[in-house]
Structures are given as C-alpha cells and as structure tokens.
Structure 1
Amino acid sequence: MHTNISLVELEHLLEFAPCVLYKYVLFPNGDGRLLYVSAGSNDLLGLHAKDMMGDIDNFWSIVYPSDLERLQAEDTNANQQGDFFVSDVRINNPAKGTIWIRLSSKPSDEFYEGHQVWTGYMVDISDTKHLEAELEERARRDAMTQLWNKSEIVNTLSEELSRFERDNLPFSIMLMDLDHFKAINDNHGHLVGDDVLLKFTEIASSQLREVDILGRFGGEEFLAIIHNASQEDTMVIAERIRQCVEKTSFTEGTTPFSITVSIGITEVKKTHKQTPEEVIKRADNALYQAKQDGRNTIRFK
C-alpha cells in the first residue's frame, strides 16, 4: 500500500529531522546559490531556510573563517571535477555556539539556468569530532602519568627548535632520571614503583613554570622543555626539583624509603641548525655525567 505525502507534510517532517537537505548551484564566476533548504536549518544552523536561499552569504557568514576558504576551495574543485563532495567545517550557531557540521553533496540530473544542480545534506557531527579529539589527545599522552608521551615531547621539541630558528628565543631542556629505580620495583613491587613515578610527576610539574613542557621520555626518564631560559635559569629550576625529590619520603607497608633524581641539562644556542636528536644527545651526555659523578646531582653540557 502506498501513501502519498504532500510537500507541506514532507516539510513538516524535515523540520524535525537531524539534518538539512539542500539543492545548490555554483556559477562559473564563483558565486553560488541555494535553490532549496529544508526547514531543519533553523535548528541545525540557526538560520531560516528562506534567509539562506535569499542570500548564500548568510550561510558563509556563520562558517569559521579558518574553515571557509577550505570549504569554498573544496566546493569549487568538486564542481569542476563533477565528484562527490564531502567537507567538515565549524559553524557558529547563535543558539548552540560552535558546532561541527558535515556537508555532503553530489551532482544531480537537474539544471538551473544551464548549470548543474547539486543535491546534498548537512548533519551535526560535533559528537564525532569531540570523540576524535579525545582519542587523539589520549594517543599523545602517557597512559600512567598523563604527561606527553615520548613521541609527542620529541615533536614538541622539534617545533621549539623551529621557533628558535625564527625568533631566537633561548630555551633549555632537562633530561631527568630517577636513581636506582629498578631497585624500587624489585624491593617494593611495581605498584609502588608506579606511585613513585606519579609522585615525581607531581613534584616536577609543581616546580616547572606554566610555560614549560614536561613529558615522559620512557621508563623512569622525563624530559622538560624550559622556555626562554638560560643555563643559570634552568639550573635553578632543576635544583628545586632535585631538592624536593630528595626530601620526599615514601612508605611501603612499614618500610620508609626515599628516592633521588639525576638531571642533565643542555641549552639551545644559535650555532647551527639543530635536530631534536642532537639536543637530546647533549642532555643525555650531561645526564650520564651526573650518574657517573654519584647520582642525585645536576650536570650541564
């Protein structure tokens, strides 16, 4: 049994649909026109359909400027190629604030003033984008300490080196290694070892400045990027961390114990273009020297 739905009834249904259907034509001079927009635009976009059809600039105006140029370029390229078109952009919905929408369209058999009409839809993908961002953030973090992981801290160092080449603002890095950490795991267990790593993370984070960046380099090693700091500035920060670690007491059962940290420092200077590997190697050499000199100390290369 088939039931005919009137256009009025269809519009009423589309008003509550979680998407916006549209028909669109792009003219050779780059101007576009929306020939049809379903009623759901008021909820999804915060714009009435008639306003969008009356002037497409009303739609362009709510797209984030940083996304608009890309969207229009992708739109033009799809029209020229006659390809299926998909683009994700942020818009400013007056009632909802910033949301992500996906626009998807394809060429139809319909023509308007001799130009092919495209039919498509817009849908809210904010939840998907937020989930993607959360997963990306997790992938960049160390699972235990929630600091940047090794890959991310090295990438950050690479970015800082590029910024240094451009702005010539000095910075240093500290490579910190907990002394005799294997013995802590062997004597007290890995759960206690995890607590020690978390406590060190807390101590180091509290002594660093807001502009500095801390990451877990691997195992019991941590790397800190110290912004706009000379060797002397960085030594002061490193000494604060060393003293705080040395003074911290731990208890496993009834057995108290303490830990110490060795720190290697290197300052990035304007000598030649440096790679993250070169800078880390210098800090690692300084850390090795601190270990050789009895641990619980700071050395500079």
Structure 2
Amino acid sequence: MRVLLADDDAVSRKMVAAMLRKWGYDVFAVSSGDEAWAVLQGRDAPRLAVLDWVMPGLDGVELCRKVRREMPGKDRYFYLILLTAKTSREEIVAGLEAGADDYMVKPFDPSELHVRVGIGKRILSLHEELVATQEALRFQATRDALTGVYNRGAALKRLEEELDRARRECKPLSVLMMDIDHFKKINDTYGHLVGDTVLKETVRRIQGVVRSYDVVGRFGGEEFVVILPNADGDIAVRVAERIRAAVSAYPVTDGAVSVSVTLSAGVAAAGTAPTVDALIQAADEALYQAKRTGRNRVCTAPTLCAA
C-alpha cells in the first residue's frame, strides 16, 4: 500500500519513512504541504497520508481542510493522520474538526505509529469493499438478469438523458424498438431454456452491430430498445437493417437444437424536441407496422417534432 508522508524536517521525514518501509509500505515523501496537495490530486494518489502539522505553505491542518472541502468524492476516501507537537485539547480538536482521521503527538512510539497506520489501511480496505458492493448493487438494479443489458427502467432513464443532451447540443437522436418474431412459438416448441438462449444470442448479435456508446435495453419479454445518439432517421434505418440481418444470418443453436430467428424493428427519429413517451410510442407503432406487414423487416415512423 502507498503512503504519502509530508514533513519539512529532513531527519524526522527520513526516520518515519524508514519505519513505514520496514512495515511494507511504499512511501512517497515530500517536504511541504503544497507538495503533498499536488500529490493527492494525482489519479493514483496514495489514499493514506501522514502529515506533519507545521510545514511551509499549507500546514497539516489546512491540508486536511482542503482535502475534505475540494476532494469529497464518495468513491475515493483519503485517510489522514496528523503528526504534531501540540498537546492542548483545543488544538487537537481543531485538527480533527479540519478533517484529520487520527493524530499522534511527537515524540511518538514507533509501535503506536505502526498500529495507527494499520488502522488506516484497514479502514481504507473496508471502504473499497463498500464501494465495490454498492457498484455491484447499482449494476444489478439497472440490468436485465438474463441478457445483461439495461432493464426497462434504466433504458428509459438513459433515453431521457440522451434526449436532454440532444436538445442541448442540437444533435439528432433515434430509437429502435425491436421484437423477436414468433418468440412464443419458439418457447412452445423448444422450451423456455432454448428461448433464453435465443434471447441472449439475439442481444449478443445486436451488440455486435451497434457502437460502444449506443444503449441496448430489454424492454420486456422478447422486445428490445436501442438508443442511437447522434443518429438521424436514415442512419437509424441502416443500423436497424444491419441488426435484422445479423440476427437472421444463421440459426441459434442450443445443444442439438437449431432455431432460425428473425426480428422486426420500428425506427423513430427525435426531430427537434419530442418527449420520451412520444418517441417510444412512435417507434412502437412503427414496430407494429413491421409486424402487420409480414415481420422480419424495418418500418419507420414520421420524424417527431415539438408540438
């Protein structure tokens, strides 16, 4: 684990750095608060810092206050230990109120420093585990469990975000609504496990066609939505046709079972300023037109504009 050590006293800095290295830490030592601040702003900055109270430029307390005020990110916490010769209760309280997690009064016992730095390391490890758990829960809450793409609620939220961006930047936006043809027959004939394989493979083929920043979501059952930022109606139709061709290019296999799959698609372009509901409804109506007129085809809705 990397540790930032900031102390303007060369002898003290060398001594503490030697202790930390002996205990297995990778030490980055500086001689002023200004240098420490520059290090902490780096992308891969040490997350644990041992800071002398009295230093040129920013002192330890000012540095703690600056870190808490200007670097409050929940995903990256800094554990700050103050080293000080100050012993009054008021001064120690002031240091803790400024944002220090812990403090040690000089001269200190090396074993105490070892324990306190170890506590900081343990707290940072627990924080990283918490952040990872929260990210996993957030991912699960926004993803379809079977296919791994966005679920309906998350896809609609992304559409709202992309529509707002398109308005601000005066750029086009299109939506595809797609439905696997005769999916109920696939389930009835081959069973739901094969149906699940068809859904997952269909998503894989869709993702193989769209751009990395396009949004793919499962809208429900065998229906999918694709959000195409910076794509007008003509581009969206071409993308939909490539998806349709990719899905039907060769059968989906599951063991000894081979299933031919096609899909129908409806395309709606945002125009100047439609609502999310209007855009989805237009793409849905175009999808139903594709279904009514023979399936395995792409139909388009009229370009939507503000009322």
Q: TM-score, normalised by structure 1?
A: 0.66
Distance in 2 of aligned mates of 1:207 and 1:44: 41
Partner of 1:56: 61
The one-letter code sitting in structure 1 at the alignment partner of 2:51 is H
More helix by share: 2
Give per-residue Cα distances to partners, 1:26-60, cap 9 Å, x unaligned: xxxxxxxxxxxxxxxxx862333446894323335
Task: Kindly report the root-mean-square deviation, in angstroms, between the aligned alpha carbons of the 2 structures.
Answer: 3.0
1:150-189, aligned counterparts within 5 Å? 150-189=152-191
Distance in 2 of aligned mates of 1:290 and 1:217: 18
Structure 2 unmatched ranges of 5 or more: 1-19, 24-45, 81-88, 103-122, 302-307
- Is the contact made by 1:89 and 1:101 (CA closer than 8 Å) also made in structure 2? no
1:1-301, aligned counterparts within 5 Å? 45-50=48-53, 54-60=59-65, 63=67, 68-69=69-70, 89=74, 99-101=76-78, 111=90, 121=101, 123-124=123-124, 125-251=127-253, 254-270=256-272, 273-301=273-301
More strand by share: 1
- Is the contact made by 2:197 and 2:254 (CA closer than 8 Å) also made in structure 1? no
Give per-residue Cα distances to partners, 1:6-39, cap 9 Å, x unaligned: xxxxxxxxx99xxxxxxxxxxxxxxxxxxxxxxx
- Is the contact made by 2:49 and 2:79 (CA closer than 8 Å) also made in structure 1? no
* Deviation of the 1:148 alpha carbon: 1.0
* Deviation of the 1:275 alpha carbon: 2.1
- Is the contact made by 2:48 and 2:79 (CA closer than 8 Å) also made in structure 1? no
- Is the contact made by 1:101 and 1:126 (CA closer than 8 Å) also made in structure 2? no
- State, as a whole percentage, how many aligned pairs show the same letter: 33
Distance in 2 of aligned mates of 1:292 and 1:250: 25
Query: Measured at CA, do residues 130 and 251 of structure 1 come closer, stay the same or move farther in structure 2, by a change above 3 Å?
Result: closer
- Is the contact made by 2:206 and 2:243 (CA closer than 8 Å) also made in structure 1? yes
Distance in 1 of aligned mates of 2:231 and 2:208: 17
* Deviation of the 1:130 alpha carbon: 1.8
* Deviation of the 1:159 alpha carbon: 0.5
Partner of 2:41: none
Distance in 1 of aligned mates of 2:296 and 2:54: 69
Query: How many residues are paired up?
Result: 225
Q: TM-score, normalised by structure 2?
A: 0.65
Query: Measured at CA, do residues 230 and 44 of structure 1 come closer, stay the same or move farther in structure 2, by a change above 3 Å?
Result: closer
Secondary structure of the residue that 1:146 maps to in structure 2?
Answer: coil
Query: Measured at CA, do residues 221 and 143 of structure 1 come closer, stay the same or move farther in structure 2, by a change above 3 Å?
Result: same
Query: Measured at CA, do residues 56 and 204 of structure 1 come closer, stay the same or move farther in structure 2, by a change above 3 Å?
Result: same
- Is the contact made by 2:53 and 2:61 (CA closer than 8 Å) also made in structure 1? no
Structure 1 unmatched ranges of 5 or more: 1-14, 17-42, 72-87, 91-98, 104-109
* Deviation of the 1:141 alpha carbon: 1.0
Give per-residue Cα distances to partners, 1:91-112, cap 9 Å, x unaligned: xxxxxxxx42589xxxxxx545
Secondary structure of the residue that 1:223 maps to in structure 2?
Answer: strand
- Is the contact made by 1:100 and 1:129 (CA closer than 8 Å) also made in structure 2? no
- Is the contact made by 1:51 and 1:58 (CA closer than 8 Å) also made in structure 2? no
